Structures are given as structure tokens and as C-alpha cells.
């Protein structure tokens, strides 16, 4: 896989992760606004959202070109 193809794959993955992150955010908001709040489920969704955020940050850092020291 060439460098350009790899960057395209990273960008596509980033786009999907950002969509998933937004969907989780919506789910967390809806769950927290409901009459019955399942705190365990809410905690799991928040943890998954943080893991997605970490994955997004990792991939974003891969897109930054290395600078020669």
C-alpha cells in the first residue's frame, strides 16, 4: 500500500470513527434524559466514547508528517 493509499484509508477510518463517536454522544444524551437511567449502560457508553476519541487522536497523529530533527 502506497503512502497516499494509506492516508486515504486513515481518513476514511477517521470519518467512520467520528460518526460512531457522534452516534454514541447522541445515545448517551438520550439515555441520560430518559425517565429511567441505566447507570451501568451509561458508564459503558461513555467508556466506549472515550476509547473512540483515543483512536481518533491516534489516527489524526498519523496524518501529521514527521519533521526531521
CA dist 69 and 55 (Å) reads 26
What is the pTM (predicted TM-score) of this model?
0.84
Q: Find all residues with CB under 8 Å of 45, minimum gap 6, and list them.
A: 24, 27, 28, 31
Average pLDDT over residues 25-34: 94
Q: Map out the domains of the chain as residue ranges.
A: 3-60
pLDDT-based confidence at residue 69 (cuts at 50, 70, 90): low
Average pLDDT over residues 10-27: 97
Amino acid at each position: 500500500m502506497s503512502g497516499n493509499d494509506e492516508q486515504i484509508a486513515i481518513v476514511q477510518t477517521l470519518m467512520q470513527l467520528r460518526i460512531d463517536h457522534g452516534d454514541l454522544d447522541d445515545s448517551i444524551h438520550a439515555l441520560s434524559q430518559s425517565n429511567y437511567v441505566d447507570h451501568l449502560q451509561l458508564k459503558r457508553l461513555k467508556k466506549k466514547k472515550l476509547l473512540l476519541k483515543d483512536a481518533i487522536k491516534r489516527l489524526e497523529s498519523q496524518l501529521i508528517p514527521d519533521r526531521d530533527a
